[in-house]
A and B are shown apart, each in its own frame.
Chain A
């Protein structure tokens, strides 16, 4: 049995170490270790709750809007602030575009090189690539001349001897299955997606002033609407937004989604690999009326699936969320065996690992900065797959249409979704649907403006003198990578307690008191190959299918002696 270490895991956000044991080409056990800790929540203590969005936003610069919006929701919940519908629609546009752009970047720039052999593209017949591309998409940039140019660049690049970011890639690994023509197509679109992602995200700049880290506001959005104004949201900026949404949708439908299906058709064996834990949660997202507490207005539904049972969607009860530290570098007052609800959360870091430099972390009982969240004492996967499964099982017509179409084209059944490939495909399904939905939200915003409703901000409780002496609240959101929750307590106008439970904490969670592994670890040991431990390409495939965001996962640190005694429970 061989011990295998992959550290750093690259093409993710943040710092992640994976260790596995391997025997006869199969992974027999796995450990996921998060190796960075920052501690944002204690920093928030004593500060103005209206500033919290900016602090929590800096938890992550990749999913750069999700913590900010969730923080605003939590503070608005605590202070009883309702966001005006136009402000809510702008948030949907900003968040929706974030998710669409993030998913496409993930596919091409973070995940594709696990499936696409750049060097093999040199052997492609550009005419064959053009034929392949034309057979799956009407995208105009599909000529043989174009693909020949790209191939020429690749050739010169390889010949230059300076491979830059492609140095030491696992090129030629037997697990790469795409024909050269498909590799060339994917490489060309990798390049196009670089321009596209830079372009479409300007929706954030229009409504929030910049990207990454656009600006938000408790009570709504700061970008005032005045069609006749300068320095406001006016006809010119709305036209730009509309155009960017169109461009986003065209690329998603004509490049990303066809590419994803084409690549997937060569890797159907990965529909039986890397499933992992069998439970899924979605907290629901995209309230059409701006009111996230009104779960009936959500485009994507809230719910829980246990044991992969698509015949039953259970209601989500946030009281069932608890976190273990049995395998994590923290102490609890009551010891390592108990689990705590986030409202009672303690985070007392206590490093017990080896002094660096170290060789193996798997030899230690505690091995990560991630806590282990559990729902009803079970490990749970969150993310696009969870959202699509909950929606599919809830009978969501848009989701069912696109999922069934994809399954039909690949010739696989719904159980194929419970896999590494299923995770990647579900992300594509969601992107297709959200790219469409952006137009719906844009039209709704324009209709409101036409009707004279331009209010983007509710200032009724902006002034701290209008706040109660003490208040508690929480906010939920479905981030690109899964279910996110912030809990806040405000005392005398300042934050007295703040806690986040984050998508990558769920997915990268270590073993709990029962020895149950989290989703990464479980996926790596679920029918999982590892042909060459020196070139662990298969590990990257499954880990990347989760789209890890480690800085998000590890940030928790709250002060001792601050227990929330009451948490408002909504739906």
Chain B
């Protein structure tokens, strides 16, 4: 166990946000769930006793007779925000006093640093480059991410859960978020920061980052494994595999969407365009871990090889 190496990595000012992220994200996820479950219990209670809903609570907050049904933003909300602003400012002050900007040596165009890493918030993208062609990982996927984020309000037909924490009413949204942000984005940032060493090779925490490390890694295209040699044939074959993946995943997602009464209700509110957009985005999102698994577990380089692009 190379503690020195480990310490070098996690103590780098550049990596402080990542180390923070590793603790803060689980904490806030837990915290949000706690609140959501509490509210869910309350919702159950109020649903079983509609009378109580009229007198006992304002939305999900506890409510007493004689209280105002609504309170003003100023001062009751803003003072809390003000308090947060003060605390965050103090934290940023201390941070900027104690940790300098992580500048490195003057750039040398003839010498690329190794490992050369993107800023921490882009490490997820960089990690994707391992699994996809640059134009897919670097152009297509990020564009889809942005389009997807923009599209969320237009796809989301669930009217519940605005302004309070709830799990029960937004299961689908919460799981999609957890999967897309926490599992895919944050985990890949952590991998890119702590795990990927010189040559973008995989080093477990505590392993020495050795520039001379050699690893045996032979990745082959799926059609090579299966022994298809004709370009036209394996082009068609790749299309079938990718298409098959889309269909099967779409079917799986559809199954989920019709699993419960609640889901079916939501689905019924969606137009075909909304539903198809959601399907495409979700399938693409699932495509990433699928490809990662194919690469890491089965050493498959590409599934679909064409003269123009490879997937």
| A and B associate | no
Please give the residue numbers on chain A whose beta carbons come within 8 Å of chain B beta carbons, in ascending order.
none
Please give the residue numbers on chain B whose beta carbons come within 8 Å of chain A beta carbons, in ascending order.
none
